[in-house]
Amino acid sequence: MLGLAFKPRADDIADAPAVDIIEMLISEGSIVGVYDPAAMENACSVRTDSVIYAPDLHAAVSGANATLLLTEWPEFINADWESIKSCMATPYIVLNGRNTLARTKMVKIGSRHMGIGRHT
């Protein structure tokens, strides 16, 4: 999971969708790797079991089948997504929660891209 704060350039996770999504994923048996450029200290207070607090975005997605982009931090939008995909495991799913990534680019590198709230 990339982005925990409710908006970029913030460290506030109060009422952020990420908290509820983490809880839901854990209840379904997932182990969740998380990274946010500013909100990691606040995120560590949420829950510790089944959550991996990663030091950077590549570590957060390492070995993951899916990546969920929740906060539109510039470092996520402008990241080398081909490099990110190489850290992941198949089927390389990217759930674009803010619809900030170019679908054509993501598909071109071999990711299964899903824009939240979009038909394709």
Along the 120 residues of the chain, how does pLDDT read in single tens digits?
A: 999 998 888 998 888 889 899 989 999 999 999 999 999 988 877 667 889 999 999 999 999 999 999 999 999 999 999 999 999 999 999 999 989 999 899 999 999 999 887 665
The whole-angstrom separation of Cα 119 and Cα 82 is 24
Tell me, yes or no, whether 111 lies in a domain: yes
What pLDDT, on the 0 to 100 scale, is given for residue 119?
A: 61
Token code pair at residue 120: 């394709």
Tell me, yes or no, whether 10 lies in a domain: no
Cut 0.75: pTM above it:
yes
Tell me, yes or no, whether 83 lies in a domain: yes
Tell the residue number behind the tokens 């996520």, with chain if given: 76
The whole-angstrom separation of Cα 26 and Cα 20 is 10
Q: Give every CB contact of residue 6 below 8 A, 6+ residues apart in sequence.
A: 12, 13, 14, 15, 16, 17, 71
Tell me, yes or no, whether 36 lies in a domain: yes
What pLDDT, on the 0 to 100 scale, is given for residue 82?
A: 95
CATH number, domain containing residue 21: 3.40.50.720
What pLDDT, on the 0 to 100 scale, is given for residue 47?
A: 64
Tell me, yes or no, whether 35 lies in a domain: yes
The whole-angstrom separation of Cα 45 and Cα 119 is 36
Tell me, yes or no, whether 73 lies in a domain: yes
Domain containing residue 46: 17-115
The domain total for the chain is 1
Tell me, yes or no, whether 8 lies in a domain: no
What pLDDT, on the 0 to 100 scale, is given for residue 49?
A: 81
Tell me, yes or no, whether 92 lies in a domain: yes
- If DSSP codes are grouped into helix, strand and coil, which group holds residue 57? helix
Residue of 52, 16, 50 lying closest to 35 (CA atoms): 52
